[in-house]
Structure 1
Amino acid sequence: MGWFRQLMGLEAPNANKPSNGTAGANLSPIGPLGLASGKGLMFDSTLKLLLDGNTEVFIPGSQEIWSMGIVDLGQSNWLSRCYMNDEDYWLQVHTSGDIAGQVESVILFNYLSYVTLNSEAELRRLAGPDSLIGLPTYTHNGLEYTREWGTEPGQTELVALSERLSNPDETYSVEHRSMLYARDTGLTDRREFLLFSVEEDAEGTVSLSTSLGISLYTTDLNVI
């Protein structure tokens, strides 16, 4: 067991850990909204104008989905994650009932940064007890975001998520320890999200990714 898994201070509460159902789940190649590896994705052309000045999330042009990730949240809730050929963008769809079931939310994320972590000390400094991640609020580019996960008055533990990914070349798993923040944009049902995720891949490489996202309606995108 590597140092990442031994870092108990980053273990999430048992209630937040995904169930064992992911391994045996029917990971259909077709996800919610018809999303799948190799499919094209187009965004409403009016989104850029609507969101201008309200979010720093960039709405890209047409994209092609390279890989699909599935996170079993337990209690029949799922996250489907679509990673584009253009690696700056990814889409997350939360569904209930089934992987391709009732859509609860859609968020488009832009990657802000991706840093490889080489030691426990580096992890503690950037995303652990010595960092600001996990505190009730987090300030990014002068804007304050409120923590979505955890009720502690101080720093809370990162949430454990296990993601099963597949693309045309391979299928593999990534373990996450994540924290989500959000703020209101002033637009109806459109919130901006700041997601931090410490990730360990199958080779044991540990990294910290930071993503900025915006709520979308299902009508904001078209799968082709």
Structure 2
Amino acid sequence: MGWFKDLLGSHAAPTPAVAIGPLGMAQGKGLRFDSTLALLLDGSTTVRVPLDQAIWSAGWIDLGQSNKLHRYYTNDEDFWVQIHVTGDDQIESVILFNYLSYVTVNSDAELQRLAGANSPIGLPTYTHNGIEYAREWGTENGQTELVPLSERVVNPDESYTIEHRSMLYARETGLTDRRELLLFSVEEDAEGTISLSTSLGISLYTTDLNIL
């Protein structure tokens, strides 16, 4: 998927210096997953574990109240890692995500059909490939609004901001402390292009990955 590296084009701001994030992760670093992880997850999730990857870009979301999300997107654009930290970079969770789809939205009617009032996104449960996931955000009995998030992203060529409206679902896999997560995000870039991304993730231990 070449969409990610071409999101903004000539309107991007100059790229700032590389910042080292939690676990030593940063744009330009290498990423290696434990060789036994894929075998461990086999049969419990369809999330794929990649071979060694280079981190192409790094994103950062301030959630408020000392909560932050760090996101690292690999050269193989099917994969990305999210790390939730609190306070002085205390790691709360690490998730490996696979992109399932990325669709450009061409009209408000299409947006409503895909991720608005006419879609199942935001309802208390969501069924994907015959598997039911429970909504993580929102307490409404019916459909709840997507959560706004503002992400600053840097890569070797540029830096830019993406505005997200997201909804997260999850289910237990039967493995200890390893949940499967389904994330939908309506994304708008600086040029006003709107897309809907769908990602499937699995909870990781910090020992499941190493920075090269």
Runs (4+) of structure 1 moved beyond 6 Å?
none
Q: Which residue of 2 aligns with 1:178?
A: 166
The alignment status of 1:195 with 2:183, answered yes or no, reads yes
For 1:63, the aligned partner's letter is Q
Q: Note the aligned Cα RMSD (angstroms).
A: 1.2
Within the candidate set 76, 81, 85, 1:86 is matched to 76
Maintained 8 Å contact 2:18/2:26: no
Give the structure-1-normalised TM-score.
Answer: 0.86
Describe the superposition over 1:161-194 as per-residue Cα deviations: whole angstroms up to 9, x where unpaired: 0000011111100000000000000000000000
Q: Which residue of 1 aligns with 2:67?
A: 77
Q: How many Å apart are 1:28 and its aligned residue? A: 6.5
Alignment of 1:24-43 (within 5 A): 29-43=19-33
Maintained 8 Å contact 2:18/2:27: no
Maintained 8 Å contact 1:27/1:70: no
For 1:167, the aligned partner's letter is N
Q: Distance in 2 between matches of 1:164 and 1:194?
A: 22
Unaligned runs of 5+ in 2: 1-15
Maintained 8 Å contact 1:43/1:59: yes
Q: Which residue of 2 aligns with 1:47?
A: 37
Aligned length: 197
Maintained 8 Å contact 1:146/1:181: yes
For 1:52, the aligned partner's letter is D
Within the candidate set 133, 139, 144, 1:156 is matched to 144
Q: How many Å apart are 1:219 and its aligned residue? A: 0.2
Unaligned runs of 5+ in 1: 1-25
Q: Distance in 1 between matches of 2:17 and 2:123?
A: 35
For 1:211, the aligned partner's letter is S
Cα distance change of structure 1 residues 102 and 34 upon mapping to structure 2, 3 Å threshold: same
Give the structure-2-normalised TM-score.
Answer: 0.91
SS of the residue corresponding to residue 112 of structure 2 reads helix
Within the candidate set 59, 63, 69, 2:49 is matched to 59
For 2:100, the aligned partner's letter is L
